[in-house]
Amino acid sequence: MPNRLEGKVAIITGGNSGIGEATGHLFAREGAKVILMARREAQGQAVATAIRERGFEATFIACDVGDDDSVRGAVEKAAATYGRIDVLFNNAGGGGGGRFPNEPNSDWLRIVNTNLTGTFYVSQAVWGHLVA
């Protein structure tokens, strides 16, 4: 069933690489207007460009999901760009660099801020657009 997302606007956090990048390409092929959000701007812009070069619509918006102000600004920019938000794929995340017994507290706090708090911030910011 092609074009299952035709006319939908989809935000993908962590859309600059890995699962987020692959999901951006998939959602675009299914007809969505894709908004990629991530911290690393050069990578995010490259993914958006690759999607557009295949004839689909994609935009990159720089965003640190662990920063509530960054998230709210990015979501408002996304909503202003397309007039709506229909789909949210909370994908931003990461892990530590060491083994558990040696993991520094600072790494743990960074992981929780991105993987847990970031998911909360993005979901909360997008919620009003999804239920409108």
Q: What is the pLDDT of residue 98?
A: 72
Q: Does residue 35 belong to any structural domain of this protein?
A: yes
Q: What is the pLDDT of residues 21-45, one digit of tens each?
A: 999 999 999 999 999 999 999 999 9
- Phi, psi dihedral angles at 34 (to 5 degrees): -100, 130
Identify the three-state secondary structure at position 11.
Answer: strand
Q: Which helix (H) or strand (E) holds 48?
A: helix 41-53
* pLDDT at residue number 132: 61
Residues with Cβ within 8 Å of residue 68, at least 6 apart in sequence: 121, 125
Task: Confirm whether 4 is domain-assigned.
Answer: no
Per-residue pLDDT tens digits for 45-89: 999 999 999 999 999 999 999 999 999 999 999 999 999 999 999
> Residue 1 — very low, low, confident or very high, per pLDDT cuts 50/70/90?
low
Residue 3 lies inside a defined structural domain of this protein: no
Dump strand ranges (E) for the chain.
9-13, 33-38, 58-62, 87-89
Q: What is the pLDDT of residue 100?
A: 78
Count of structural domains within the chain: 1
Question: Is the pTM here over 0.85, yes or no?
Answer: yes
Give the CATH number, domain containing residue 95: 3.40.50.720
pLDDT band at 104 (very low <50, low <70, confident <90, very high): confident
47: in domain: yes
Q: Which domain holds residue 68?
A: 9-131
* Across 90-107, average pLDDT: 85
